[in-house]
Amino acid sequence: MDLGTVAMTGAAGTIGSVVRKALRRDVGRLILLDRVPLRPEAENEDVRTVDLRDAAALEAALTGADRVLHLGGIPDEARLPDLLEANVLGTHHVLEAARRTGIERVVLASSNRVTGFYPVGELTGPQDPVRPDGLYGVSKVAVEALGQLYADKFGLSVICLRIGSFEHMPTEARHLATWLSPRDAVGYVRAALTAPPSTRFAAVYAVSANTRRFWELPDPSVLAYAPVDDAELHAGNIPGADFPIDPTAPQAGPYALPEFTLEHLRS
């Protein structure tokens, strides 16, 4: 598999570090972008220190890329102005750079938390209206909307991955439904980067094949990846795994609590 030149933002992050190692053998050139300085670890790596808020620098760094994987941004609840700047404006700069430089495929890191207020007893899919569980979820709703706009208006091919609980191993009861293993994360990324150009826009849940999951797996006609890992295999090591589940409780778990957001509303 040769994906040509792939650029990845947020390359120093938790997911970026795992995907970086996996993509090296799939690409001719890997452009790694982060505001944290990086060092190349392979001959085909090209590292750049770039802030997503700097549109001109970002465009220069993305010039020559065939595909973009956008993982950069604030990964959790924060003040709304900070989320708008890092996640929404940063994504806008990525999409605009792609439009201006002729990049046809952009993969955006969205989040399961765009639908965190659906109950755990309901299997939720990308066709369901958004119900964000906090300000972070709101920022990812905006990220997906920007992707849809650039697909509809400018013809970019945009795939949004609604990332689950990315962990090397599931460690808490909620992960039995939401876990995304490193192996499956890489699988989803590869599938999104290589999906046919005819896929103009898609939003899919990136989650492992967990027995207790409450999100739909991707339709193979939309994204050709079937996850292979199941958090249930680790249930015996997870506290509370056998406790009864309230089917009306929000999928977001503690992220849906008012306290989780209130601390970020105070000046």
Domains identified in the chain and CATH numbers: 5-262 (3.40.50.720)
Per residue in 40-67, pLDDT (tens digit) is 999 999 999 999 999 999 999 999 999 9
Rounded mean pLDDT of 121-127? 97
With a cut of 90, say whether residue 101 has pLDDT above it: yes
- Tens-place pLDDT, residues 132-183: 999 999 999 999 999 999 999 999 999 999 999 999 999 999 999 999 999 9
Which residue(s) pair with 109 in the sheet?
Answer: 161
Q: Residue 168: exposed, middle, or buried by beta-carbon count in 10 A (0-12, 13-18, 19+)?
A: exposed
Q: How far apart are CA 231 and CA 209, in angstroms?
A: 8
Rg, Å, the chain Cα set: 18
Residue 47 has a CB neighbour count (10 Å cut-off) of 17
pLDDT recorded at residue 153: 98
The packing angle between helices 55-62 and 90-101, to 10°, is 50
Is 220 a residue whose pLDDT tops 60?
yes
Instruction: Work out the average pLDDT over 201-207.
Output: 98
Query: Does 267 score more than 60 pLDDT?
Result: no
- pTM beyond cutoff 0.85: yes
**pLDDT recorded at residue 2:** 79
Rounded to whole angstroms, the Cα distance separating 5 from 14 reads 22
Q: Check: CB of residue 10 under 8 Å from CB of residue 73.
A: yes
Q: Which residues are catalytically annotated?
A: 136
